Amino acid sequence: MTTMTVPERYGESVLSPNWHAELERLIAMAEVADRTTTRTLHELGLRPDWQCLEVGAGAGTVATWLAGQVPDGSVLATDIDTRWLEPAAAPNLRVSKHDIVLDPLPVSTFDLIHARFVLEHLPERDTVIAKLCRSLRPGGLLVIESIASFPIASCATPAFRDAMHAIESTLAATIGTDAAWPRAFPAPLQQHGLAQVSASVHIPATGGRNASARCWSHTLTQLRPRIAEHTPQALPAVDEALRLLDLPDFFDLAFATAICWGRNIKTQ
């Protein structure tokens, strides 16, 4: 499989942690997604002594929750930018600055590896999955979550649909995000030899000034200058979508969250 070359990397300019409201964006994202994440991980079964890796941990909400679920184990929370990760949040939580594309990972180490809203933004996602699989212990579980663009085509509001498409195409052109990739879940895990694979999809309503509306409003605001470069014809839709997202009675469906998981059944 070839890896596409892109002009820049996540966080260098696009989706930069230096953007003034990036923490609020990540907190809103967590408010939208954490309930589904924690329910899914709980249903898949967590053991108190597990060694866990949280990749691209962002504001750290999942890593902190996980640490509470594995009191006799540990959680390693990694990110290219760890400014919002608080190691003191739990005694068994460690934080490490780590690039999942460039930096090595120990092999056969983790009982659970979880990455949410990270791999879709990395053109090297296939080699990253291979690296994550090698880092699983025998019996270990890999859980990947990704935004998925397939609900956008049927959005009920044309301006909102066009603004969401502008996010998708601008992220693809700048950092190589592929929001269509998770439509094939769980195939990427099957292809890497994981067993007991499956997937599910969650589509939260965006609107009523809820966390999803705030998150997409922040994302549109941050990306607006880059959308202006790549698809200037979408700017009227972007501005209309920003107005809609601030209304108490606007609702539509934005990107879905697709989740897939699989288990390493190799004996070593």
Ligand X SMILES: C[S@@+](CC[C@H](N)C(=O)[O-])C[C@H]1O[C@@H](n2cnc3c(N)ncnc32)[C@H](O)[C@@H]1O
How far apart, in whole angstroms, are the C-alpha atoms of residue 15 and residue 223?
A: 8
Question: Which of residues 65, 110, 117, 261 is near ligand X by CB under 6 A?
Answer: 117
Quick one: which segment of 99-107, 162-170, 198-206, 219-227 binds ligand X (CB under 6 A)?
99-107
DSSP summary character for residue 96: E
Of 201 and 235, the one with the shorter C-beta distance to ligand X is 201
Closest separation in Å from C-beta 86 to ligand X: 14
| CA angle, 66 then 68 then 74, to 5° | 65
Cβ partners under 8 Å of residue 32, min gap 6: 204, 210, 211, 212, 215
C-beta of 133 vs 159, nearer to ligand X = 133
Pattern 206-245, binding to ligand X, x per CB under 6 A?
----------------------------------------
**Residues whose CB is less than 8 angstroms from the CB of residue 241 and which lie 6 or more positions away in sequence, other chains included:** 159, 160, 162, 163, 164, 216, 220
The least CB distance from residue 60 to ligand X, in Å, is 8
The region of 50-58, 87-95, 192-200, 223-231 touching ligand X under the rule CB under 6 A is 50-58
130: its two tokens: 């291979």
CA angle 107, 120, 44 (to 5 degrees): 60
Quick one: which of 31, 81, 86, 239 contacts ligand X (CB under 6 A)?
81
Residue 220 to residue 231: CA distance in whole angstroms: 13
In the complex, the residues that contact ligand X under the rule CB under 6 A are 10-11, 26, 29-30, 33, 55-59, 79-81, 99-101, 116-118, 121-122
